[in-house]
Structure formats: structure tokens, C-alpha cells
């Protein structure tokens, strides 16, 4: 009888928080690692408002990422809730990825974050993102400055957009994962309900198509989401909330043009995501000062 002495290599699985200032590329990085869009991305800061879970599974184990809202000085209402959501993610995880832009040494805005990082014992990797925007020789002094901070087990320059060094980052992350079996099935990339994904995709299309204050005052509520039993069709009705009549006017656009374009963009992406035809109906409503309305914020799950 042959007795195998070879043990199965134990799996490594754990939880990783992706944090940083608004617009540094946190959501882009998560989507790149997963090879799938689970978190919306725009060129405007403060796009992500909730903690977004993304699951990476391979033969070696599972990494559960939390994408978080950008951490910044926030006075109240929605922004303060967003920052609290990000900071709350720092407990009960195995690793922190702190993303920074490639343009400056630690400034006051980063101090807000590093002060929190100093409080926790969890291992931390400093990820300098967007290095595709830098000249090659600009990176070294930048990395030196960050390394001197002494807070991080590793410092790595990457581009979440082009994918440069993301494989190296993944290898560093895996080293920090404890021995554990996967927490989620191996074929899902996120735990978000489709209703939430749909509202996020609509919100992304609004942010991409508008300027000034509109991206910051838009909230999307799915009113109904019905899969028709026949015909491979899903009917979605959503309300877009803004704070003032003037914003409603901007969002709807001349002869309803802008809203139509936003609806089309959202519909095309939703059709790909859900692999059905989508019938999408959007309404715009004014909800005065909703960003400081506690009841409304809770209702919207911010
Ligand atoms: N050039 C370049 N742009 C990037 C890179 N990573 C992200 N971006 C861009 O930076 C912008 C912000 O990206 P997001 O992923 O939304 O940033 P975020 O940190 O999640 O932002 P918030 O959710 O607002 O906190 C988008 O326009 C991205 O395309 C990168 O590596 N290089
Ligand atoms: Mg984001």
C-alpha cells in the first residue's frame, strides 16, 4: 500500500481594506484585481459612498477586499458618514492597502489617515498608484520618502489603470494572508445585490455626464426591479434625487436630452451585466438638503 506523505498545502484566506484619499484609484485597483467591475469609477472625487466587497479566489485561497469611500476632512452629513464607513473598515481585517497618488510626500491630508493607521497593529502596505503618469526617475525619491515613514511593511509603486506591478502587489498581499479556508463560494466576485449594483451604475453614469455640484448631490433609489417571466426582460424604475430645482434642470437637460443619454448609458451597461434586455425608467426628484437629512441617509443605506 502506498501512503502519501505529501500534505495538501493549506489555503490562505483573509480580509484586506483598500483605503486612501478620494480619487486615488481604490476602486480601479479592486476592479483590476478581480478582472470584473464591482465598484464604480469616475474622474471625480468621492465616487464610492459605501463599503464595497470584492472577492478574489484562486488555487491558493481567497482574498476578500473592502473598497472604501475616500478619507478626507468631512464636516457632517453624507461626507462624515462616508469617512466613518472607511475608518470602520480598519477593524478586524488582516491587511491594509493605503493608496496614495504619486505626486507628494506625506502631507496634511495623508496625516488624517496615517494617524489612524498608527493606532492599529494590522500590517500595512503603502501603494503608490498612478505611476503611469510619472517619469521613471520621479519614483525613487518618492518611494524613499514614504519608506522613511516606517509605518509600512512594504512600499510598492503600481498603476491600477495599466495593471503595472499589480501582480507583484497581489503576491505581497498573499504573503500576509493567514491560513484559512475561503469564506465565500469561489464563483462570486461580490456580495452586492443586483439592485444595489444597478443603482451604482446609474449613479456612475450621472457623475460622468454632469459637472459642478451635481455629482455630489446625486442619490439613486431603485423603486422597482421586475424580471418579466417571459421575454428576457427586466424593468427597472429609479428615482434620481438632487437637492435643488436648478440641479434638477441641469440633470434633465434641454428637452430631456441629458437624462435620456444617462439612461441609455446605464441601460447598455445593465444589459451586459444582467444579460437581459432592460427597460429603464428614470425620474428626477428634489429632496432639499438630503445630504444632511439623517433619516434619508439611513434610508439610503449611507
Ligand atoms: N493615470 C491613471 N489614472 C488612474 C489610475 N488609477 C485610477 N485612475 C483614475 O483615477 C480616477 C479615480 O479613480 P477611482 O478608482 O474612482 O478612485 P477612488 O480612489 O476609488 O475614488 P473615490 O471612490 O472617489 O474615493 C479615475 O478617473 C481613474 O480612471 C492609474 O493607475 N493611472
Ligand atoms: Mg472609489
Question: Ligand 1 test: best mutation among 17, 21, 25, 86, most atoms within 8 Å of CB?
Answer: 25
pLDDT beyond 70 at 130: yes
Q: What is the pLDDT of residue 75?
A: 87
The whole-model pTM stands at: 0.95
48-102 confidence digits (pLDDT tens): 999 999 999 999 999 999 999 999 999 889 999 999 999 999 999 999 999 999 8
Judged by average pLDDT, the poorest of 77-86, 108-117, 142-151, 240-249 is: 142-151
Q: What is the pLDDT of residue 296?
A: 97
CA-31 nearest atom, ligand 1: 15
Backbone φ, ψ for residue 217 (5° rounding): -105, 5
C-beta of residue 212 within 8 angstroms of C-beta of residue 44:
no
pLDDT beyond 80 at 121: yes
Within 176-233, residue ranges assigned H as helices are: 194-209, 214-217
10 Å Cβ neighbour count for 46? 18
As separate numbers, helices (DSSP H) first and strands (DSSP E) second, the chain gives 10, 9
Backbone φ, ψ for residue 278 (5° rounding): -120, 135
Percentage of the chain with pLDDT > 90?
Answer: 84
What the chain holds in terms of domains, given with CATH numbers, is: 12-175 (3.40.50.300), 194-299 (3.30.300.20)
pLDDT beyond 60 at 37: yes
Distance (Å) from CA 119 to ligand 1 centroid: 27
Average of pLDDT values for 133-150?
Answer: 75
Amino acid at each position: 500500500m502506498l501512503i502519501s506523505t505529501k500534505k495538501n498545502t493549506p489555503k490562505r484566506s483573509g480580509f484586506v481594506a483598500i483605503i486612501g484619499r478620494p480619487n486615488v484609484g481604490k476602486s480601479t485597483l479592486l476592479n483590476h484585481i478581480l478582472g470584473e467591475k464591482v465598484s464604480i469609477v469616475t474622474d471625480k472625487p468621492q465616487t464610492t459612498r459605501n463599503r464595497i466587497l470584492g472577492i478574489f479566489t484562486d488555487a491558493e485561497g481567497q482574498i476578500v477586499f473592502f473598497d472604501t469611500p475616500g478619507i478626507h476632512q468631512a464636516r457632517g452629513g453624507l461626507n462624515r458618514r462616508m469617512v466613518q464607513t472607511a475608518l470602520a473598515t480598519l477593524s478586524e481585517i488582516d491587511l491594509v492597502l493605503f493608496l496614495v497618488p504619486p505626486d507628494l510626500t506625506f502631507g496634511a491630508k495623508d496625516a488624517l489617515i496615517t494617524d489612524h493607521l498608527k493606532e492599529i497593529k494590522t500590517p500595512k502596505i503603502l501603494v503608490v498608484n498612478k505611476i503611469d503618469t510619472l517619469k521613471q526617475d520621479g519614483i525613487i525619491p518618492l518611494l524613499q520618502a514614504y519608506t522613511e515613514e516606517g509605518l509600512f511593511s512594504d512600499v510598492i509603486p503600481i498603476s491600477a489603470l495599466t495593471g503595472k506591478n499589480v501582480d507583484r502587489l497581489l503576491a505581497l498581499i498573499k504573503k500576509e494572508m493567514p491560513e484559512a479556508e475561503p469564506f465565500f463560494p469561489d464563483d462570486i466576485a461580490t456580495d452586492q445585490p443586483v439592485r444595489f449594483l444597478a443603482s451604482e451604475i446609474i449613479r456612475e453614469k450621472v457623475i460622468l455626464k454632469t459637472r459642478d455640484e451635481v455629482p455630489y448631490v446625486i442619490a439613486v433609489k431603485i423603486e422597482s426591479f421586475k424580471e418579466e417571466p417571459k421575454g428576457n426582460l427586466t424593468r427597472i424604475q429609479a428615482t434620481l434625487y438632487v437637492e435643488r430645482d436648478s440641479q434638477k434642470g441641469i440633470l434633465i437637460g434641454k428637452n430631456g436630452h441629458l437624462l435620456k443619454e444617462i439612461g441609455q448609458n446605464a441601460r447598455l451597461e445593465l444589459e451586459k451585466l444582467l444579460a437581459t434586455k432592460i427597460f429603464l425608467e428614470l425620474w428626477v426628484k428634489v429632496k432639499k438638503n438630503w445630504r444632511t437629512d439623517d433619516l434619508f441617509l439611513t434610508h439610503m443605506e449611507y
